[in-house]
Amino acid sequence: MSSTTQDIAENILRSADLIKNSHHVVVLTGAGISTPSGIPDFRSPGIGLWTRYLPMEVASLTAFRHDPEKFYTWLHPLTSNMLSAKPNPAHYALAELQASGYISTIITKNIDGLHTRAGAINVLELHGSMNSLTCINCFQQVPSEGLIHEFVEHCTVPRCKYCGGIMKPDVILYEEQLPVKIWNKAEEASQRCDLMLIAGTSLEVMPSAKLPILALDNGAELIIINNMPTYVDVRAGVIIREDVAQVLPMILQEVCGA
């Protein structure tokens, strides 16, 4: 069932009211906020990155250690795609709401770094990011700049300049735990917030999918902007089933004025 234009306008007003009247707003984003930037949701059926290979075969820690070349071959199209992607109006709208004091924390499952590139601060990247690499031999961590461009250009496995070991991007692979410090901060922020704005995620993957429950348990309201249903829709104050890159700038306009 598609929403009418009037429904959408009303829901944007309600969202703006909730944002203006809350004290601690936390945002949770997923792949859907980066698809308007041209980054495919690589878990979606038919998109290819997950469907051409079984993820456990290439994107697990065991697979990486066993066959890093295969891992990097798999990662190559995703990386070059991410390098050329730019933040879209949804990222900018959130960054501006945050700069205006309406949003405290942004929790994201995305590894593309686009929230930060749009100017957002206090971004908790639950699945890590492509911004740095760590040597699997000596654990030296380096910024990915340079190494990643070289990888995209020549498709060679990045090596550690200290020991020659293989570098692994600081993204969370299968079999890996979410980074503990970041996860703890995300839990804390969710438990403390009085409004959680969920944008571009269908909340299908645990443990991040349980963050809205922590917010609800604290009495928080939920706003959900996503083109698919989620399991917490029944408990949400506002549901907008539209493109985040269109809706978030409209909410920003309503909250901050022209």
Residues in the site for Zn ion, rule: CB under 5 A? 135, 137-138, 140, 160, 162-163, 165
CA torsion, points 95, 96, 101, 102, in degrees to nearest 10? -80
**Residue 72 CB, nearest distance to Zn ion (Å)?**
17
Mention every residue, 6+ apart, whose C-beta is less than 8 A from residue 149: 83
Q: Which is nearer to Zn ion, 163 or 205 (CB)?
A: 163
**Residue 228 CB, nearest distance to Zn ion (Å)?**
42
Q: Which is nearer to Zn ion, 142 or 213 (CB)?
A: 142
Q: Which is nearer to Zn ion, 167 or 247 (CB)?
A: 167
Structure tokens at 198: 């969920």
Q: Which is nearer to Zn ion, 81 or 132 (CB)?
A: 132
Q: Which is nearer to Zn ion, 140 or 218 (CB)?
A: 140
| Catalytic choice (23, 66, 127, 154) | 127
* Known catalytic membership, residue 24: no
CA pair distance 65, 69, nearest whole angstrom: 10
**Residue 140 CB, nearest distance to Zn ion (Å)?**
5
Long-range CB contact pairs, 176-181, < 8 A, 24+: 176/61, 178/126, 178/127, 178/207, 178/208, 179/126, 179/128
SS3 label, residue 15: helix
Provide the pairing of β-strand 141-143 with 128-135: antiparallel
Residue from 210, 173, 169 nearest 28 by CA: 210
Amino acid at 213: I
**Residue 69 CB, nearest distance to Zn ion (Å)?**
18
Structure tokens at 5: 């234009």
CA torsion, points 169, 173, 176, 180, in degrees to nearest 10? 60
**Residue 64 CB, nearest distance to Zn ion (Å)?**
15
Question: Catalytic positions, please?
Answer: 127
